[in-house]
Structure 1
């Protein structure tokens, strides 16, 4: 299907216009659009423009309050929490960010939790943001239930990713880890279902708990945990931090991030930041440099996060190819 090659600026403008057209405030729309641009820039298309019609649809139907004004509470010296007010996660995270990072520098460590929230896009981008500010960041977000415990059939936790951003001491990230509790992100299966393409046999289970290559059946069943019970354990860990600690609803009670049913999902996020200066200081960067060298100097090995940098260089030069169907769906909200 024919489409267009868009620059990153054009993608940002397109996403912003669609979200404002759907009824979101300029500030909320801009925050989500920036996240969309970063996903496309890094080649993570399952979290990029593909999601904009879903975001816009959720503003229209009320799953997301596009006009929400986040409420920030600095409850303890190292603790900041934000009520997203059923709005987008991105502006809620932005609302608490400066107090959070300031607390981390003052105390050596601090945490930010978000509740009454929504999908926060690519979690690794928030970890990278912390690394760029010279902080070691641990990030967690949960999602509507899609992973059943090993041996079970009923989903209890979501794909529940975690991310780690490691500063390089020069305003960038030396290491960026971003992975989910499932073998693959659910958005990738959604993308395959939309394109009527099969999935890999180890990615998901059908409603009866059997492996399937049919993306549509997978969406009616559950995601396969990465590493079996170990992956489910990671999902539980994220659930404890991003749902229980944050005061968000459990994954099993959250409405889906796709479709219009169920009202606001009311999910949550948790971010923890360490200031290396408060711990090992300059020695931290020496150790990180030695660690990354031990990986990168091996043939065919790469430091986590390095592929995104390569994608950025290419995509910033070449632009992003967007098919006509997706453009039409996005532009339908651009009033």
Structure 2
């Protein structure tokens, strides 16, 4: 299986995006995010997305040269318009602007509207935690889950992410989808010609399926049954209702080049621990140490850090099929 260094992978992705109409700056932002996800072992948000993104650029479903704008209408509020471009440049703008605002007023929030697929939601909050902040991210996605007891999808898989700093260690990062698995895992399985496990999804008639193509036409199984659906409602209200973005049922798919831009939203909240206590990070470390002291226990994100280090040292294993798909995109 071919290997690519992280720099080679970023160049490969950025080149494909530029060929299809992305500006160099936007292509670089997207490439950092996708290769970062691949390096973390999150393949559903990694290189498998490149052919779809390229198709959406050609169809103008995503605006390749969009430049996000940032406004600050109130002391702790940032309004970011992604302008129907990729989400990653808008997320980069939020990560750049939030630390100074959070340190000034204690807590700051950035809303992002007219956005797109946010990929691995843990990346922006991890970057904020590395700057010493506690951060949460809520993102809505196109309809994929039905309300509990219903059959028509009105919620997305709607990721939630959280990160907080630990003195002298990588941050704690929680990144989860409100479906049992991220929809990108099903897309990746379809591209590889593999089946999916029982319990991940239902087909268009509401029957359990292991066929990824049928799952993509049907609905996702919610994490925690009714509890997962309740959380998805919360995310829709925060990420779309609050930000003035499209709800899941109004958004076009992230997975094809049909229709107009999805126009979804994201909300990022950043807190400066120093505004709330004199020793927040040290208290975070005390709980982390209590968890890690137990045999077999680990903090969320610990595996991701190990996989990332190995990828940085050894490169990425990339299939011939993936390389061919990116080259042909």
| TM-score above 0.5, yes or no | yes
Which residue is equivalent to 1:87?
Answer: 85
What is the Cα deviation at residue 325 of structure 1? 2.0
Structure 1 unaligned regions, length at least 5: none
- Secondary structure at the aligned position of 2:9 is classed as helix
> CA deviation digits over 1:176-202, x for unaligned, max 9?
100011000001011112222221111
Is contact 2:95-2:127 (8 Å) kept? no
Structure 2 unaligned regions, length at least 5: none
> Does residue 273 of the first structure (1) align with residue 270 of the second (2)?
yes
> CA deviation digits over 1:254-295, x for unaligned, max 9?
00001111110001110000000000122x122211211121
Is contact 2:142-2:253 (8 Å) kept? yes
> Does residue 45 of the first structure (1) align with residue 43 of the second (2)?
yes
Structure 1 CA distance, aligned partners of 2:225 and 2:128?
A: 30
Normalised to the residue count of structure 1, the TM-score between the two structures is 0.95
CA-based RMSD: 1.3
- Residue 224 (structure 1) aligned to one of 221, 226, 232: 221
Structure 1 CA distance, aligned partners of 2:96 and 2:4?
A: 32
Structure 2 CA distance, aligned partners of 1:330 and 1:59?
A: 14
> CA deviation digits over 1:108-142, x for unaligned, max 9?
00000100010111000111011001000001111
Structure 2 CA distance, aligned partners of 1:14 and 1:296?
A: 38
Which residue is equivalent to 1:191?
Answer: 188
> Does residue 330 of the first structure (1) align with residue 326 of the second (2)?
yes
- Residue 317 (structure 1) aligned to one of 309, 313, 317: 313
Identify the range of structure 1 (106-115 vs 206-215) with the bigger mean alpha-carbon deviation.
206-215
**Within-5 A mapping of 1:1-335:** 3-170=1-168, 172-173=170-171, 175-282=172-279, 284-333=280-329
Normalised to the residue count of structure 2, the TM-score between the two structures is 0.97
> CA deviation digits over 1:126-165, x for unaligned, max 9?
1101100100000111100101012111101100010001
Structure 2 CA distance, aligned partners of 1:195 and 1:53?
A: 14
Is contact 2:95-2:128 (8 Å) kept? no
> CA deviation digits over 1:1-25, x for unaligned, max 9?
xx52101010010011111111100
Is contact 1:148-1:154 (8 Å) kept? yes
Dislocated runs of 4+, deviation >6 Å: none
What is the Cα deviation at residue 52 of structure 1? 1.1
